[in-house]
Amino acid sequence: MRSRKIQVAIIVALWAVLGVVLHGKATQPLDASTLTPIQSKFGDWAAKIDSQRNSGFLFKYFFNPLRAFVDSFVKIIRDVISLPEGHNLIPILGWSGVVALFGFAIYATSNLKTTILGVSLLVGCGLLGVWTQTADTLALTIAAVILSVAIGLPLGVWAGISNRALAALTPILDFAQIMPTFVYLTPLALIFLIGPASATIATMVYSIPPVIRITAHGIRHVPHTVIESATSMGSTKRQILSKVQLPLARETIIVGVNQCVMAALSLVTIASLIDAPGLGKTILLALQTLNVGKGFVAGLAIVFLAIMLDRSASAAGARARNFVPPTESQIKRRRLSVVLAGAIAFTFMYLSRTILALAVFPSSLNIGPHVENFTNSALKWAKENLYFLTDGLQNAITVTFINPLEWILSGTPWFLTIAMIVGIGFLIGGSRPALIAALSFGGIVVIGLWQDSMLTLTQVLAATVLTLLLGIALGVGVGRNATFDRIMRPILDAGQTLPVFVYMVPLLGLFGATRFTAIAAAVVYAFPVVVKLVAEGIRTVPVTMIESATASGSTSWQMITKVQLPASRKSLALAINQGLIYVLAMVVVGGLVGGGGLGYDVVNGFVQLSLVGKGLAAGLAIVFMGIGLDRISQFGAKRGSPADRI
């Protein structure tokens, strides 16, 4: 184990030395506006697809009908809550009617406390002056969730009862996790055009996997004794599924739906790149114009939505966990309260069609401009008075770590870098991940985006190192101290709940449009999952090991470094893998805020028709990089290699 760790260190050192000696050779430098022959072919392929939009077989009988169906479905929901029809001032329901409708839905599935919270947060979105954008974001999220659950739930049930189905779906789900969401926006926009339909389909691609995975997990973890008991009583497979497995897995399935909702909200904001309406478009405009205050207002509204949806789904799940049957009087009171809540909701829905103040959110209550101005002023003050923290931290990490790493990676010959990555992959995970890494990074060479890929890899490695340093330190604290766990839990929950666009707005204001902003956003996005996995590993260390080390006089530091971390190395390896994947997903989005590299190429592919081919090639390069890095880290985790302690 130690010898392999030393061998990895030797390869890294050799990589650095040879990188200096051979610097600048075979690096595939490419200007932003220049295309390689294969990238030009991608562009020709995109043009050919576009030309067949009205005549191609797949377009006529699959893609176009699917787009029309999704577009109509989204339009129905938008007509109700966000999109005025014709010359109407409001949609079918005014703002108060929408709030009442959601309040009733929350109360019917959870409790009064959560309902008050949800209604308050929705009203808060109106107070911020972004009610129309909020309603659009809600409409797209609802449409994507309904369609995702309709597809994902049956597939999850199938995967839960069939080993063949699980084996067939697992590679697809793994690939969906590895592939950053940024990557498939371009091909989906190419096929389905830009707009709400393509944005909803892109959101479904992202939000269906959690439903499938978690539903299958819930069904497969129903106790075998219960199934055997039902079988012995003569129940058929259909009866076992409907009467035993699904009811017992209900709580887990609700968790899956909750994750689907949060995934949909996250992607709907990013889908503004392909003209999805809503709050994401406001944030995108703010990022493009460096108006941090406006972006903060929209980001705060997204935070309100995220909290409302998360707490509502969590409360519904908690209610499902209540195994104590209610009394007859409790059932009657509950039914009466739901009927009363429905009557109140219906009243407000009617009034929202007749009273102007309840139909259009009053402009006199709009505090958005005040929040925007305050945010811009606060950021200006921070940059002027805390520059030693913002600029100092940015310059220190950039000069001492990021710049040298980028100089080596972007200037090293591609064949040397691939050889070193393959060698490290072999030592960490064995021959199979080494082969996959060779093919993946070789594919990047073929499509001609090696130097841009190395710029992205620099940011991925830098952000991963910072994420692991922060995540492991906090994870140990969370795993060892219950008080610290309670303090960190809301922060970690918020980090995993909030859409990725939200992180970028304040970081852009503090650090400007630079690589460091993209790296910092990736760290903020990825460290919660690392903290949770490390903490879980620390908690599962056998008590006997802790007691034995304590009896032998170990200090707290010795307990951590000699007992708990080594004993939880599998959790650490998983944390490295997940941290790496999360970082890659966010670093690519960092192309919007000066991150450069492949993310910049993808963004250029969106905005310049002549660079569509390069954008598609960049997306493919991101997939190749993600597969190569993921396979090395995953196989390393399975082997218990030194990678889990690097």
Written as one string, the DSSP assignment of 172-197 is HHHHHHHS-TTTTHHHHHHHH-SSHH
Query: Do 392 and 369 share a structural domain?
Result: no
Query: Do 400 and 307 share a structural domain?
Result: no
The answer to whether position 45 is within a domain reads no
The answer to whether position 592 is within a domain reads yes
Q: Rounded mean pLDDT of 547-564? A: 84
- How many CB atoms sit inside 10 A of residue 344's CB? 14
Query: Do 8 and 154 share a structural domain?
Result: no
How many whole angstroms separate alpha carbon 624 and alpha carbon 128?
Answer: 42
323, pLDDT greater than 60: no
The answer to whether position 337 is within a domain reads yes
Choose the final residue of a domain: 376, 407, 436. Answer: 376
Question: Please, which pLDDT band fits residue 638 given cuts at 50, 70 and 90?
Answer: low
640, pLDDT greater than 60: no
Q: According to the per-residue pLDDT averaged within each range, which of 5-19, 144-158, 298-312 is highest?
A: 144-158
1, pLDDT greater than 60: no
Question: Please, which pLDDT band fits residue 346 given cuts at 50, 70 and 90?
Answer: very high
Q: Rounded mean pLDDT of 287-308? A: 86
In total, how many domains does the chain have? 2
Distances from the Cα of 310 to the Cα of 369, 396, 488, 592, angstroms: 27, 38, 18, 27
Query: Do 594 and 475 share a structural domain?
Result: yes
Distances from the Cα of 507 to the Cα of 268, 540, 599, angstroms: 21, 35, 18
Identify which has the larger pLDDT, 499 or 166: 166
Identify which has the larger pLDDT, 127 or 564: 127
Question: Please, which pLDDT band fits residue 571 given cuts at 50, 70 and 90?
Answer: confident
The separation between the first and the last C-alpha atoms of the chain, rounded to the nearest angstrom, is 12
The answer to whether position 24 is within a domain reads no
Question: Please, which pLDDT band fits residue 131 given cuts at 50, 70 and 90?
Answer: very high
| Tokens describing residue 39 | 């990238």
pTM: predicted TM-score of the whole model, two decimal places: 0.81
Q: Rounded mean pLDDT of 408-437? A: 89
In this structure, what DSSP letter does residue 326 have?
A: P
Look up residue 644 and give its amino acid: D
Q: Alpha-carbon torsion 507, 512, 515, 516, what sign?
A: negative
Least Cα distance to 123 among 140, 144, 102 occurs for: 102
Q: What confidence score (pLDDT) does residue 320 get?
A: 61
Q: What confidence score (pLDDT) does residue 458 get?
A: 92
| Tokens describing residue 98 | 């929408």
How many whole angstroms separate alpha carbon 452 and alpha carbon 29?
Answer: 8
How many whole angstroms separate alpha carbon 519 and alpha carbon 397?
Answer: 11
- Contact at 8 Å (CB) between 623 and 178? yes
- Contact at 8 Å (CB) between 591 and 456? no
Q: What confidence score (pLDDT) does residue 463 get?
A: 92
How many whole angstroms separate alpha carbon 597 and alpha carbon 519?
Answer: 12
Q: What confidence score (pLDDT) does residue 529 get?
A: 86
Per the rule left: phi > 0, alpha: psi between -120 and 50, beta: everything else, 335 is alpha
The number of C-alpha atoms within 13 Å of 179 and in the hemisphere containing its C-beta is 20
Q: CB-based contacts of 222: which residues, under 8 Å, 6+ apart? A: 244, 245, 248, 249
Query: Do 315 and 270 share a structural domain?
Result: yes
* Residue 161 exposed, middle or buried by CB count within 10 Å (0-12, 13-18, 19+): middle
The answer to whether position 349 is within a domain reads yes
123, pLDDT greater than 90: yes
Q: Rounded mean pLDDT of 313-335? A: 75
560, pLDDT greater than 50: yes
The SS3 call for residue 485 is: helix
Query: Do 101 and 200 share a structural domain?
Result: yes
- Give the CATH number, domain containing residue 172: 1.10.3720.10
How many whole angstroms separate alpha carbon 145 and alpha carbon 263?
Answer: 9
Give the range among 55-64, 126-135, 385-394, 510-519 with minimum mean pLDDT.
385-394
Identify which has the larger pLDDT, 416 or 254: 416
The answer to whether position 129 is within a domain reads yes
Query: Do 107 and 255 share a structural domain?
Result: yes
Domain range enclosing 363: 52-376
- How many CB atoms sit inside 10 A of residue 593's CB? 24
Q: CB-based contacts of 442: which residues, under 8 Å, 6+ apart? A: 418
Choose the final residue of a domain: 342, 376, 410. Answer: 376
Show the 3-state SS of 96-163: HHHHHHHHHHHHHHCCHHHHHHHHHHHHHHHHCCCHHHHHHHHHHHHHHHHHHHHHHHHHHHHHHHCH
Enumerate helices (H) and strands (E) in the chain, giving the number of each.
33, 0
- Contact at 8 Å (CB) between 279 and 267? no
Query: Do 412 and 320 share a structural domain?
Result: no
Give the range among 59-73, 157-171, 305-319 with minimum mean pLDDT.
305-319
Residue-averaged pLDDT of the chain: 85
643, pLDDT greater than 50: no
- Contact at 8 Å (CB) between 287 and 508? yes
Q: Which parts of 321-430 fold into alpha helices (H)?
A: 328-351, 356-359, 368-385, 387-397, 403-411, 414-429
Least Cα distance to 537 among 475, 473, 471, 466 occurs for: 475
206, pLDDT greater than 70: yes
Distances from the Cα of 38 to the Cα of 27, 41, 282, 616, angstroms: 17, 5, 35, 11
pLDDT digits (tens, 9 = 90+) for 81-97: 988 876 677 888 999 99
Question: Please, which pLDDT band fits residue 645 given cuts at 50, 70 and 90?
Answer: very low
Q: Rounded mean pLDDT of 411-436? A: 89
Query: Do 464 and 330 share a structural domain?
Result: no
Query: Do 353 and 443 share a structural domain?
Result: no
Least Cα distance to 626 among 589, 596, 583 occurs for: 583
641, pLDDT greater than 70: no
The answer to whether position 565 is within a domain reads yes
Q: Which parts of 271-327 fold into alpha helices (H)?
A: 279-289, 292-320
pLDDT digits (tens, 9 = 90+) for 585-611: 888 788 777 778 888 888 888 777 778
Query: Do 431 and 398 share a structural domain?
Result: yes
pLDDT digits (tens, 9 = 90+) for 375-394: 888 888 887 787 777 788 88
Distances from the Cα of 613 to the Cα of 14, 456, 463, 492, 618, angstroms: 36, 19, 28, 39, 9
Q: Which residues of 70-103 are buried (b: 16+ CB within 10 A; e: fewer)?
A: bbebbbebbbbbbbeeeeeebbbbbbbbbbbbbb
Query: Do 409 and 264 share a structural domain?
Result: no
Choose the final residue of a domain: 351, 376, 401. Answer: 376
How many whole angstroms separate alpha carbon 28 and alpha carbon 455?
Answer: 12
The answer to whether position 37 is within a domain reads no
